[in-house]
Amino acid sequence: MSEIKIILVDDHQIVRDGIKALLSDSLNIKVIGEVKSAYELFDLLKTQIPDIVLLDVSLPTMSGIEVSKILSSDFPKIKKLMLSMYTSEDFIFNAIKSGVNGYLPKNITRNELLQAINEVSEGREYFSKTISDTILKSYLKSAKYGNNVSDDKLCKLTKRENEILLYVVEGLHNKDIAEKLYISIRTVETHKTNIMHKLNLNGTVDLVKFAIKNNIIEL
């Protein structure tokens, strides 16, 4: 069994340190690098090519899912293991679509992490129980009701809609947004309505949650 080379991507140093410490016990796994953002990762990849990238979903500026997409197209040989606090359908769906080889919630045990790394490094996929449950549930739902749940929602929004979404979830009122963008309140309303429809959301409350889940705003 050859050595498995890993790069960690997580913006919390303590998490990186922690995982590193965990993995240091395993003889066949070696952390060859650790970075806290997408940019640093791509920089590092110029000199170091790992077998697996351990990716946190929530990263500053560019989300783990974006990173995964780029890795899939530019470094198809590198395996991607996603690590996330969040286990919602949207996340998992988009992660899988982005080409990850595995998805783990952050409350996994050390052994599960090791197993996931080994599975993935041997070309198989690894989704922990919580995740596969969610996938199953989603699958059943879509089979029953025929709604193909999550398309790649965010990509469906236009530039303007994204811009307005941002202002909305920052707490600005329609009037403020209208003034800021020199457009009519009615236009803002229209955009908002369209956003809601495209994202299949129910109201402001869901919109805010969506924005946080998708890293559009910080708490």
Residues that bind DNA (CB under 7 A): 158-161, 173-175, 181, 183-187, 189-193, 196, 202-204
- Is 27 a binder of its own copies (CB under 8 A)? no
What is the SS3 string spanning 131-152? HHHHHHHHHHHHHHHCCCCCCC
Q: How crowded is residue 14: how many other Cβ atoms within 10 Å of its Cβ?
A: 8
Site for its own copies in 93-122 (CB under 8 A): 106-110, 113
Min dist. Cβ of residue 87 to DNA (A): 27
Q: Any contact of residue 196 with its own copies (CB under 8 A)? A: no
Cα 176 from chain centroid (whole Å)? 31
Burial class (CB in 10 A: 0-12, 13-18, 19+), 76: exposed
Nearer to its own copies, 19 or 38 (CB): 19
Using CB under 8 A as the binding rule, whether residue 209 contacts its own copies is answered as yes
Give the SS3 label for residue 162: helix
Q: 């050859």: which residue's tokens?
A: 2
Q: Closest CB to its own copies among 67 and 211?
A: 211
Determine which residue in the list 1, 14, 143, 155 makes contact with its own copies, applying CB under 8 A. Answer: 14
Among all chains, which residue has been given the structure tokens 């990186």?
Answer: 16
CA pseudo-torsion sign 126, 76, 123, 21: negative
Residue 26 CA, distance from chain mean position: 27
Instruction: Please give the Cα distance from 113 to 103 (Å, whole number).
Output: 10
- Choice between 137 and 173, CB closer to DNA: 173
Q: State which residue, 142 or 204, has the beta carbon closest to DNA.
A: 204
Site for its own copies, residues 148 to 177, rule: CB under 8 A:
168-171, 173
User: Which stretch in 12-20, 67-75, 119-127, 149-157 sits in contact with its own copies by CB under 8 A?
Assistant: 12-20
What is the rounded distance in angstroms from the CA atom of residue 87 to the CA atom of residue 108?
A: 12
Query: Looking at the DSSP assignment, which residues form a beta bridge with residue 79?
Result: 52
State yes or no: residue 179 binds its own copies (CB under 8 A).
no
Residue 22 C-beta: closest distance to its own copies, Å: 5
**Which residues lie near its own copies (CB under 8 A)?**
11-15, 17-19, 21-22, 24, 85-86, 88, 106-110, 113, 168-171, 173, 202-206, 208-209, 212-213, 219
